[in-house]
Structure 1
């Protein structure tokens, strides 16, 4: 599909929905890819052959990431597919991450457009709603402040 350079992509990681491990994720122009294989800098031909086999012969949507110290092959995925493995219980972790990201985005927009005072009032209102609704692991305004500051893409310590 594509041969890319490191500066063209964004690499992050997310928590695997079933196991206690991080999964490397590559983002390129709105598409998401999962790491399939890594090759050393001296294995350029092997990396290209593996990538071509996946794209040309198996019909997979893949990218080859070319870096100075290594080559890596990434296969296209949809993030919701990570939670659909057998006995996963769905994509609950992904939904929690998405909800936290949305909450943080709205909070930052309120702060940017309306100022710090309104952002503080928004934070208090959200805290009141979550506490009154007996939201899990949110018993104080400090817990809401923590939700607004954590990075849910790299931190797996968020409410269940």
Structure 2
């Protein structure tokens, strides 16, 4: 029996991938691209609920009509790749890829999206940076005497 490309309705409703290749065995299929999903529990189905890896971002390795095979990095002295099958109701899209593409479209990653790096030939920071504290600034005062503001005591607030 030859492999044929078909569309699986349940997976397509979730939007996990457009086309998957089905093999003679229904539990093995090959995604057309690498996808990242979040492993989150849903109360609509009680089968194959997330136990320890709830909320983790995982890679999809295989899929079927009602379940998806996922690979999670587990830390047990070293990083181990753990494979598990999850119902499609218990997974959601990961927004990490969407946030990366949003930065590329805005031109924050010139190496990926723009041509500024070719012009300047400079090193570009591609990792996400935390928001730094605001810089200090001073305010000018027209009066000589400053009035200090503070929190009001509780006894005045109760009245």
Name the larger-Rg structure.
2
Q: Same fold (TM over 0.5)?
A: no
Q: Compare relative contact order (CA 8 Å, sep 6+) and give the higher one, 1 or 2.
A: 1
TM-score by length of 2: 0.25
